[in-house]
Amino acid sequence: MLSRLVLSVAARPKITYMTRPFASNLAVNPKPVETTKSESPTSSAQDALEAVKYAVKDGIAVVKIDIPNSSQNSLNEQVSAELKKIILRVEQDSAVKGVVIMSGKPTSFIAGADIDMLSKCKTAEEAEKLARDGQIQFQRLERSKKPIVAAIMGSCLGGGLELALACHYRIAVNSPQTVLALPEVQLGLLPGAGGTQRLPKLISLTNALPMILTGKNIRPSKAKSMGLVDAVVQPLGPGLADPLTNTHNYLEKVAISFAKELSEGKLKVDRTRPLVERLTNKVLTSRPLLDSLVLRKAREGVMKMTFGNYPAPLKILDVVRTGLTETNSEVGYENEARIFGQLTQTPQSQALIGLFKGRTECKKDKYGPAKKCENLGVIGAGLMGAGIANVSVDKGIRTSLIDMNQDALDRGEKQISTQLDGQVKKKKITKSERDVYFSKLNPTTSYNELRNADVVIEAVFEDLNLKHKIIQQLESVVPDHCIIASNTSALPIRDIASVSKRPERIIGMHYFSPVDKMELLEIITSEKTSKEALAVAAKLGLAQKKLIVVVKDCPGFFTVRCLGPMMSEVVRLLQEGVSPTDLDKLTKVYGFPVGAATLADEVGLDVAAHVATFLGQALGPRLYGGSHELLNELVNAGYKGRKTNAGIYDYAPTSQLPTVLKNLPGMKAPKKQANEEAKKIIAKYHTPPPTSVSSIEDRQLRVISRFVNEALLCYEEGIIATPSDGDIASVFGLGFPPFWGGPFRFVDLYGADKLVKNMERYAAAYTYDQFKPCNLLVEHAKTGKKFYPK
């Protein structure tokens, strides 16, 4: 994620840069900026506006967006109003020959439009007007007779990129902080200020569609090759005292030079693409092929990925088509604004915006002052332990990875090395950065390496006796201030801490696999866990770039406790004769990113059996449904899931193929297929399904309702603090369908009354306790109360 460093430039004395010649193509290997204390009389004008700064330098108006007390700029009402005034002023000032629009923050150009402005729109018409106002403002930039240069450093997202697209020239600093994207689709929306119209005409359609349909980030070098930006400025070297500020100042100087050359006619904008690319794009955007091939294939791809659960991507294709086929460009802009307004009122957009806000909240450090973790210990070099070490060393945290098994330690070290190498290959980090990160790792078999540890996380198998042994061993070595965390997924923290001399320093830190990709960190506090321990654990999790959700101690905590009843229903569906492929399909169509049968294999059937037995003791009849004995028999037969190449599915590796097939060019392992032996075991536990609750819709709702009901019970019992915490944990930890927004948003959107009636039908067909609606759900059904009132 991008740095949150705030560097205010508003209070600095006004300066003028010493003149140096600039090549208009700027391969740019810059040096530190030289300055003097004087300015020309025309550059002394400084606007007193709060969010947008304005000064004239050498005949060029430098407009800096810099929202006070915020690490990111956004296009809010204040910025829009102030920018409008300044552009008017520029147009009327004959002394101004050109304009530079940039940020006053080195790590944020503009990170998008202000979401709160959307929240104020209660109708599609209000949102449409908001989009139209943005279009008009940006059209004014585009039609200006004075050249406008967008100087991009830091995040340039959504409305920020739409503003840059309306400028006449774009330059970007080639740094990790600089990304360009149109991520509105991730909020169930489309770019509403001209993005769907300008982008496909600026760059090739094959580059534009993926940007708008997925919201993917584009780095500066890629943006240059695509034609999205006109020049790339190399950042100043790390040897300087303040490379960010120096690079930011240098960017301003370069941008002024470009604006001046454009105004004097010395620089001509040339975006001519290679002949083959131009011809290809012309053919693809011609009406016959656009409809019959390009957009048809794009729609097929969207439906394959989303099953029609998200309306925005399909609407984007319609709006892009209008812009490319209508001779009157105004028709395209009007269509974009109208569809934008409609999408703001869809339940999918409400759910996704709710997740965005909740995700933002979970990134805040709100747990009090805490010591920074500089020395971390991780016990257990398996998949989870190595993953935790991985997301620590690449944030600069010195990490000792401990395992008594040298082979396991070697595998863990290799896992981390491979992941870092992948980052280099993807150009997310340099090779030198990779070497620095890897040097932070200390693989060892000795607990003595933890004598200076600030935090130690044990990530061993879910065995209480083993965890007790580790706690006692750690407390004989680590300093008194050290926090000891357990990466348990289900065992109560109070039970783990029962052997501790300092139970107030024991806490749960439940990571999700794969750790380097899954954002959620579930932090669990027992009644004895101190506020200091929570603050330290949260600070570490935030440093690892995790979303923090704090839950109270109980068996399974929040995520696993909710998953347990749902997976029990999944096993019951298998027993009722639903094939693994059909089970995967019906859950994926409902919005789960991974099918339920595949998920069971990925988690591990041995883990599922262990958790089912453990949670069954704690939750009783609420966990009933599928047979625990079925899971145990599959595990005893060696079918533990993906880890053993066989579970509900069979995963035959290439090495097991006949030599004649294995040696064929390009031969890969066959796709997973149903495990015939597992099917025989499942058949032994077959139970005929009640026909009254066996439609596809009923099967989907049976699965999700058991998750939802347990989530509401957790909130009822105070296990989670807010509905938003439950929704964030469910979506980012367990893959709950994002377009539903999580279990609490699901109740609001689906309807509590409707849900209760269906659960009562299921209760009549099965054991009542399994589908008994909790008191909170019944209350919402009776009163119409919402978890997220508008």
Task: Indicate whether 427 and 396 sit together in one domain.
Answer: yes
The CATH number of the domain where 226 resides is what? 3.90.226.10
Distance (Å, rounded) from C-alpha 267 to C-alpha 151?
A: 16
Band the pLDDT of 239: cuts 50, 70, 90.
Answer: low
CB burial string 494-506: b at 16+ within 10 A, e below = bebbebbebbebb
Q: For the chain, what percent of residues have pLDDT higher than 90?
A: 75
At 677, the amino acid letter reads E
Distance (Å, rounded) from C-alpha 386 to C-alpha 514?
A: 10
Contact partners, residue 297, CB within 8 Å, separation at least 6: none
Bin 493: left if φ > 0, else alpha if -120 < ψ < 50, else beta.
alpha
Q: Within its chain, how far is the Cα of 59 from the centroid?
A: 42
Instruction: Give the pLDDT confidence score for residue 664 in this predicted structure.
Output: 43
In a domain, 564, yes or no: yes
* Residue of 82, 162, 522, 710 marked catalytic: 522
716-749 pLDDT, tens digit per residue, is 999 999 999 999 999 999 999 999 999 999 999 9
362-379 pLDDT, tens digit per residue, is 999 999 999 999 999 999
Mean pLDDT comparison of 43-57, 385-399, 767-781, highest-scoring range: 385-399
Task: Indicate whether 636 and 599 sit together in one domain.
Answer: yes
What is the mean pLDDT of the segment spanning 500-510? 97
- With CA atoms as reference, report the closest residue to 664 among 673, 654, 674, 672: 654
Task: Indicate whether 49 and 158 sit together in one domain.
Answer: yes
Band the pLDDT of 653: cuts 50, 70, 90.
Answer: low
Task: Indicate whether 542 and 565 sit together in one domain.
Answer: no
Q: Is the pLDDT of residue 540 over 90?
A: yes
Token pair 């004769």 is at which residue?
Answer: 577
Q: Is the pLDDT of residue 305 over 50?
A: yes
In a domain, 708, yes or no: yes
Question: CA-based Rg of the chain, rounded to a whole angstrom?
Answer: 29
Secondary structure (3-state) at 720: strand
Contact partners, residue 136, CB within 8 Å, separation at least 6: none
Task: Indicate whether 535 and 596 sit together in one domain.
Answer: no
Among residues 519, 552, 585, which one ends one of the domains?
552
Q: Mean pLDDT over all residues of the chain?
A: 88
The CATH number of the domain where 679 resides is what? 1.10.1040.50
In a domain, 329, yes or no: yes
In a domain, 356, yes or no: no
Q: Are the C-beta atoms of residues 740 and 591 closer than 8 Å to each other?
A: yes
DSSP 688: P
Cα atoms found within 13 Å of the Cα of residue 742, Cβ hemisphere only = 29
Number of domains in the chain: 3
Count of CB atoms within 10 A of residue 3's CB?
A: 14
DSSP bridge partners of 63: 54, 101
Asked whether the bond before 555 is cis by omega within 30 degrees of 0, the reply is no
Task: Indicate whether 287 and 409 sit together in one domain.
Answer: no
In a domain, 436, yes or no: yes
Task: Indicate whether 332 and 401 sit together in one domain.
Answer: no
Sign of the C-alpha dihedral computed for residues 65, 227, 325 and 296 taken in this order: negative
Extended strands (E) in 7-103? 16-17, 35-36, 52-57, 60-65, 98-103
- With CA atoms as reference, report the closest residue to 644 among 682, 698, 601: 601
What is the mean pLDDT of the segment spanning 150-154? 96
Token pair 């289900």 is at which residue?
Answer: 490
Give the helix ranges, DSSP H, for 476-604: 493-496, 531-543, 559-575, 580-589, 596-603
Domain that holds residue 328: 17-263+275-342
Instruction: Give the pLDDT confidence score for residue 7 in this predicted structure.
Output: 21
In a domain, 7, yes or no: no
745-778 pLDDT, tens digit per residue, is 999 999 999 999 999 999 999 977 899 999 999 9
Whether 522 sits among the annotated catalytic residues: the reply is yes
Task: Indicate whether 329 and 381 sit together in one domain.
Answer: no
Q: What share of the chain is helix, strand, coil (3-state, %, to 5)?
A: 50, 10, 35
Instruction: Give the pLDDT confidence score for residue 583 in this predicted structure.
Output: 96
Instruction: Give the pLDDT confidence score for residue 763 in this predicted structure.
Output: 94
Q: Is the pLDDT of residue 463 over 80?
A: yes
Distance (Å, rounded) from C-alpha 417 to C-alpha 409?
A: 12
What's the token pair of residue 435? Answer: 């070497």
87-139 pLDDT, tens digit per residue, is 999 999 999 999 999 999 999 999 998 888 888 899 999 999 999 999 999 99
Instruction: Give the pLDDT confidence score for residue 790 in this predicted structure.
Output: 73
Count of CB atoms within 10 A of residue 163's CB?
A: 28
Q: Is the pLDDT of residue 667 over 80?
A: no
Band the pLDDT of 657: cuts 50, 70, 90.
Answer: very low
Q: Are the C-beta atoms of residues 604 and 640 closer than 8 Å to each other?
A: yes
Top pLDDT among 429 and 588 is at 588
- With CA atoms as reference, report the closest residue to 671 among 750, 581, 751, 745: 581
Task: Indicate whether 324 and 452 sit together in one domain.
Answer: no
In a domain, 368, yes or no: no
Among residues 552, 580, 607, which one ends one of the domains?
552
The CATH number of the domain where 501 resides is what? 3.40.50.720
Instruction: Give the pLDDT confidence score for residue 11 in this predicted structure.
Output: 26
Least confident of 43-47, 266-270, 365-369, 458-462: 43-47
Task: Indicate whether 514 and 590 sit together in one domain.
Answer: no
Distance (Å, rounded) from C-alpha 461 to C-alpha 459?
A: 7
Band the pLDDT of 46: cuts 50, 70, 90.
Answer: very low
In a domain, 370, yes or no: no
Task: Indicate whether 460 and 609 sit together in one domain.
Answer: no
Instruction: Give the pLDDT confidence score for residue 289 in this predicted structure.
Output: 82
Among residues 536, 552, 568, which one ends one of the domains?
552
What's the token pair of residue 403? Answer: 């395992």
Count of CB atoms within 10 A of residue 691's CB?
A: 8
pTM attached to this predicted model? 0.87
Token pair 């052997």 is at which residue?
Answer: 499
Task: Indicate whether 571 and 524 sit together in one domain.
Answer: no
